[in-house]
Amino acid sequence: MSRVYIIVAIDRKRAIGFEGKLLFHLPDDMKRFKALTTGNTVIMGRKTFESLPKGALPNRRNIVLTKNPTAKYPEAEVFSSLEKAIENCKTDEKVFIIGGASVYEKALPLVDELCITEIDDFAPNADTFFPTLSTGEWIEKSREEHLADEKNHWTFAFVNYIRKK
Ligand SMILES: NC(=O)c1ccc[n+]([C@@H]2O[C@H](COP(=O)([O-])OP(=O)(O)OC[C@H]3O[C@@H](n4cnc5c(N)ncnc54)[C@H](OP(=O)(O)O)[C@@H]3O)[C@@H](O)[C@H]2O)c1
């Protein structure tokens, strides 16, 4: 099977979105997201795809999940289930699950590594949340702390977790 990762930015309450949009603008997180996913495959739910300002992400294989059998999106492939999408990826393909909440929920039991940007704040309004990780199931593999600065207005950490064997 291809190597599958979850990539997500969460706040202290695990919030990830509000009214179809992201909660925090962190240019350094955007840069890291781009660096990790470029040249690889991204899988996302239909609502996350529709929230992308310029449509499909460039220089990546874009896969959109929807139950709508007639859906078509420019520069993206459409699958009706996460399992079918992952089965369609080659063994040497690096696959990033990029949200939203419903897709993270489905993907969590299938992935071996989580790339989480942990933002040290609460969003005032949020309606979409990342699932709670089961205690003892994940081990912190690496942590890179970043202080707020003039471009990134929140303190955050890039934290990678791997599944406990
Ligand atoms: N903080 C972050 O890192 C991050 C990352 C991504 C997204 N977000 C935020 O999350 C929010 C969107 O998340 P969401 O949970 O509302 O929506 P979503 O997961 O992006 O999209 C949900 C839709 O995707 C399709 N879908 C999901 N799972 C499927 C499956 N297993 N098989 C087939 N189709 C499936 C369905 O589309 P149909 O209804 O067409 O069948 C479903 O209605 C936005 O606010 C966005 O900004 C945050």
What digits encode the pLDDT tens for the residues 123-161?
999 999 999 999 899 999 999 999 999 999 999 999 999
The three-class DSSP label of residue 72 is coil
Separation of 102 CA from ligand 1 center, angstroms?
5
- Domain locations along the chain: 3-163
Probe target for ligand 1 pocket from 8, 51, 65, 96, with the most ligand atoms within 8 Å of CB: 65
What is the residue whose two structure tokens read 């962190």?
Answer: 26
pLDDT score recorded for residue 127: 98
Above pLDDT 90, what percent of the chain?
Answer: 96
Asked whether residue 1 carries a pLDDT value surpassing 90, the answer given is no
Measured in angstroms, how far is the CA atom of residue 100 from the centroid of ligand 1?
A: 4
Average pLDDT for residues 94-122, to the nearest whole number? Answer: 97
CATH topology of domain 3-163: Dihydrofolate Reductase, subunit A (3.40.430)
- Separation CA 165–CA 28 (nearest Å): 32
* Whether 41 contacts 59, CB under 8 Å: no
* CA 163–ligand 1 middle distance (angstroms): 23
pTM of the predicted model over 0.85: yes
Cα separation, 54 vs 59, in Å, equals 13
